[in-house]
Amino acid sequence: EGGGATGGSPGTVAEMEAARKVFGGLEDGSDAGGEGLDADAGLAEARGPQAADDPRVEIDDDDDSEESSSEEDSSSAEGMSSEYEDDDEPPAHQNGDLLAAATGSRSAGTHATDAVVNPNFPTAFAAGKGRLGDLELFHLPIIYKSHQTGFEPTKDLTLQPGSVFAGQYLVQNELGTAAFSTAYRCIDLQSGKIDEDTGEEYHEEVCLKVIKNTKDFFDQSLDEIKVLELIRQTGKCDENNCVEMRTFFYHREHLVIVTELLRQNLYEFGKFIAENDEPPYFTRRRLCYITRQILVALRFIHRRGLVHSDVKPENILLASYSRARVKLIDFGSSCYLTDRQSSYIQSRSYRAPEVVLGCKYDGKIDVWSLGCVIAEMYTGEVTFQNDSVVTMLSRIESVTGGAFPEGIIEGGRQSGQFFTGSGLLYEKAGS
């Protein structure tokens, strides 16, 4: 439109070149923003038992996930009990600054490039209501059958074991179904990996997340792709303990996200241990190590102006049973600090008081959720059991041993629904 489509003049070409530079994506992989906030002193327990006193206790920051598939190819019930022995326990760590970094928020400033705007074309940008540099562009590959048009016979897509999907992925089995997607274990037939022990080539197993065919789910998954792409472009997923996206595409009327294949989530694994009378897995040392890994992940995304918004046991997956290696997944609910804030985030049992009461929030709500998760893994019980918002708030007061700070109550848009003027919890009769 404007002069660009019909012109070819030097001025128009210059504008197009400027626009291309803007849409080139991130200019570098550096962290954006300012310094993080100080950590809450009471949560320094994440350093683990004896870590502060014993100089012999060290933590290995090397990537522990470099193990062949043959060593840990078993996530079945038969193989789990032998994979975690006491001598495999990870060491406690000494870093006391991770929590501070994870709770600190930094402003997002990765797309601040100014662009040349054609003054003869009356866009909203030229009118001073925006900047071309505030926009991003990514291409969605669409895979379709040649010489064929029309819709699929049904909106629901079920992948059958043994079939090849999108000409590349050999379906093994279904991994699980969530509210807006179904996950499948597949073999990437176009991948070529070399086994370090045998030297033989093999195909990599991946996870295909097939999004349900509705516009809302499609749009939300596009947001997840943008976040996963930002994570992949600005850091190493293994070092920062975030799931790695391999690719994404659109096929048979469904958006598909391909990620690395991980093991069970903390909820499923904890349930397996309890039901099969296995030795306790979530010891204090292992939980300290798991906590540290997720704090690293949260620090990484918070420095990019992101809030995960849904940290819970189901969204922390094991990459190695014996080494207690974990990764954070499911960024479909993630938001930027600059987004309009919503009170409909986080699963309720892991929801921070700021969100419940309608206060302004930041990355600290992820750290609250992580604390709930770790306590649950240690005790085997949901930390803040509840059947309503009021019972959850009451439980929080009981567990933390004190009333809510006045600042939180006064700053909450929803506080009047749960607190009296003197700061006492109440519940309407019959509610």
Asked if 228 and 268 sit in the same domain, the reply is: no
Asked if 233 and 288 sit in the same domain, the reply is: no
Mean pLDDT of 346-352: 93
Asked if 268 and 348 sit in the same domain, the reply is: yes
- Please tell me the predicted confidence (pLDDT) of residue 428: 77
Closest CA to 308 of 295, 298, 317: 298
**In this structure, is residue 318 part of a structural domain?**
yes
Rg for the chain (alpha carbons), in Å?
24
Asked if 254 and 268 sit in the same domain, the reply is: no
Per-residue pLDDT band for 431 (boundaries 50, 70, 90) equals low
**In this structure, is residue 291 part of a structural domain?**
yes
**Residue 244: other Cβ atoms inside 10 A:** 16
Q: Is 42 helix (H, G, I), strand (E, B) or coil?
A: helix
Mean pLDDT of 381-391: 92
- Per the CB < 8 A criterion, the answer to whether 418 and 379 are in contact is no
Q: What is the pLDDT of residues 333-348, one digit of tens each?
A: 999 999 988 878 899 9
User: Is the per-residue pLDDT at 203 higher than 90?
Assistant: yes
**In this structure, is residue 344 part of a structural domain?**
yes
- Please tell me the predicted confidence (pLDDT) of residue 168: 97
- Per the CB < 8 A criterion, the answer to whether 411 and 359 are in contact is yes
**In this structure, is residue 140 part of a structural domain?**
no
**In this structure, is residue 78 part of a structural domain?**
no
Counting beta carbons within 10 angstroms of the beta carbon of residue 70, is it exposed (0 to 12), middle (13 to 18) or buried (19 or more)?
A: exposed
Backbone φ and ψ for 169, nearest 5 degrees, come out as -115, 115
The enclosing domain of 214 has a CATH number of 3.30.200.20
User: Is the per-residue pLDDT at 369 higher than 80?
Assistant: yes
- Please tell me the predicted confidence (pLDDT) of residue 149: 87
- Per the CB < 8 A criterion, the answer to whether 3 and 12 are in contact is yes
Domain assignment of residue 116, given as a range: 2-32+111-134
Asked if 211 and 320 sit in the same domain, the reply is: no
Asked if 285 and 218 sit in the same domain, the reply is: no
How many domains does the chain contain in total?
Answer: 4
Percent of the chain that is helix, strand, coil (3-state, to 5):
35, 15, 50
216 catalytic residue (yes or no): no
Q: Which of 188, 310, 330, 362 is catalytic?
A: 310
The enclosing domain of 368 has a CATH number of 1.10.510.10
Which range is least confidently modeled, 28-42, 138-152, 196-210, 221-235? 28-42
